Amino acid sequence: MSTTRRPRFATRALLLHLATVALVVALCTGIYLALAVQQLRAEAESTALGIARTLAEDPQVRSEVARISAESDRPDAEALRSGPLQRIAMSVAERTDALFVVITDEDGIRLAHPTSERIGEVVSTPFAAVLAGNEVVDWQTGTLGESARAKVPVRDAAGVPVGEVSVGFERTGVFDDLPPLLTVIGVSAAAALALALLTFLLLRRRWERLTLGVQPEELVALVQNQTAVLNGVDDGVLAIDANGVVRVSNAAADRMLGLDAPIGQPLADLGLPSAVSETAARDGARSSTVVAGRVLYLDSRPVVRDDRPLGRVLIVRDRTDLIALTERLESVRAVTAALRVQRHEFANRMHVAAGLIDADRISDARAFLGELVARGSVAFPVAGLDLLSDPFLHSFLGAKGIEASERGVALRIAEESQLIGTVEEAEDVAAVLGNLIDNAVTAAVAGPRSPRWVEVAVLGDGDALVVTVADSGAGFGREDPLELHERGTQPDRRSESTAGGDAVHGHGLGLPLAREIARRTGGDLWIIDTGGDAHGAVIAARLCGAVSGIPTPPKETA
């Protein structure tokens, strides 16, 4: 089944535009033409009235009409045809191009007429109103056809009407000026239509350039689809035009970037962190940053239609939960690795004990097992680990010690470490402490000092856990990465190998993320020392509510 293709909106608008202009031109032409006809009629009537008044005031006409009207006999037609009134009337008609100039007496008998045969007859149109002293201007039809005529009374010396003068102009003569007037009107109307057509063609070209050729029906669908898509995704979408002005921003982008009604504002005026502004300003750029405690992944993509650059779209993805989960999984992996080492070590020791028993060296086997009981199941390569009685911290730091030793770094527990109670929030502690230790190990490996070491101090403060991590790396130098992230800028690449540098896929987000976790518990994370000649950076973190089982002090008795 074939369907008729609907004309494009531009074509429909053009036809409507032209129809509207044509209707307006036709209406104006009709009104102008009516006014012109009315003006021509008024001019003809005014001219006829002026001639009739002038002729009625002529002394010879007045005296002759008064004389004839005073006679009791009917006027002699033959005498009138060659009389002075006929000569005067014909002369006036010839000079003024009037259709007729008629003079009558008080009885309506023609004393002068263009057709001499009708002289002496009564006029065919009413004359009573004129003989009553009134001037009559009208369009009437007489023996010579329809004409614009004016009738003026002729008065005697006493001012009494004794006759009339009637002057008329033929209809065709009155409207002789209409054809050229109509020509001018037609040319003007055609010029108006042509101008309207040209104007609309220019407007349509401008319109299609601004709308990229998209029709209104498609624009409606685009708006509906855009609303559904932008509000139906968790990612933030920020569209910036070629002039750097924000044109689209969904609720997710406003929430993640902390924006308030950004649409229509220049991107530079929104106060965004420099990492966000720099990424949005470059096509195809990708980066990560921390904004308001959230780890955001930024992806800038160019928008091009018909080889015409329209701007860029910045995709904002919240990766905070994913990175936090990665940190926790990393902690679990470390503990799992430590348990695997313990299993291998325990199996090896059981083989030794079994070999001693098989060799009937019972006393040696007994002494070996006694030594294992006294030393523990696995000897983690962490000096001072026995200072911590909490089983989670013991295993976790032991696993971290094994990983550090594999990289040539010695992990040790500070002598002032002391913790009363047990760790409750193991995930938060593992995320924050593991992040700090991993960064410190990386800094020690990249640092200039030897031997390479990382020192961890663990202290209890009520239900809060306070940890400090120091290393033998090069330190931060003059740049404080936490302050840089507070200002929304990325740390210098030279500091990414330090203790606070890069713990999350090379984007320098470890410290801000760890600090966000600490602040979420009511604590904080801060830099005690950015590094010096004797050691690298020293970082501390406080996790509130992370310790339980604290003994209650006895009440004092009176």
Q: What are phi and psi of 505, to 5 degrees?
A: 55, 35
Q: What does the pLDDT read at residue 558?
A: 41
User: pLDDT confidence of 376, banded at 50, 70, 90?
Assistant: low
Reported as half-sphere exposure (CB side, CA atoms, 13 A), residue 508 has a value of 25
Distance CA 32, CA 38 (A): 10
How far apart are alpha carbons 452 and 456 in whole angstroms?
A: 14
Higher-scoring residue by pLDDT: 493, 185: 185
User: What secondary structure, in 3-state letters, does 189-211 show?
Assistant: HHHHHHHHHHHHHHHHHHHHHHC
Selection from 388, 380, 542, 383 nearest residue 468 by Cα:
542
Residues 169 and 92: their CA atoms lie apart, in Å, by 13
Strand blocks (E) in 286-384:
286-291, 294-305, 308-318, 382-383
Q: Which of 467, 405, 399 is nearest to 441 (CA)?
A: 405
Average pLDDT of the chain is 78
What is the rounded average pLDDT of the residues 83-91?
Answer: 87
Tens digit of each residue's pLDDT (9 = 90 or more) over 403-435: 888 889 999 999 999 888 888 888 788 888 988
Strands (E), 136-225: 136-142, 145-155, 161-170
**Are 508 and 493 in contact, with CB atoms under 8 Å apart?**
no
pLDDT in tens, 229-281: 666 567 788 888 888 888 878 877 787 787 888 888 888 888 787 778 888 87
In 395-503, beta strands by DSSP E: 410-413, 422-423, 453-461, 464-471
Q: Is the pLDDT of residue 7 over 60?
A: no
Nearest partner of 514 among 489, 492, 481, 490, judged by Cα: 481
Helices 9-56, 84-96: inter-axial angle, 10-degree rounding = 160
Instruction: Count how many Cα atoms sit within 13 Å of the Cα of residue 377 in the half-sphere of its side chain.
Output: 13
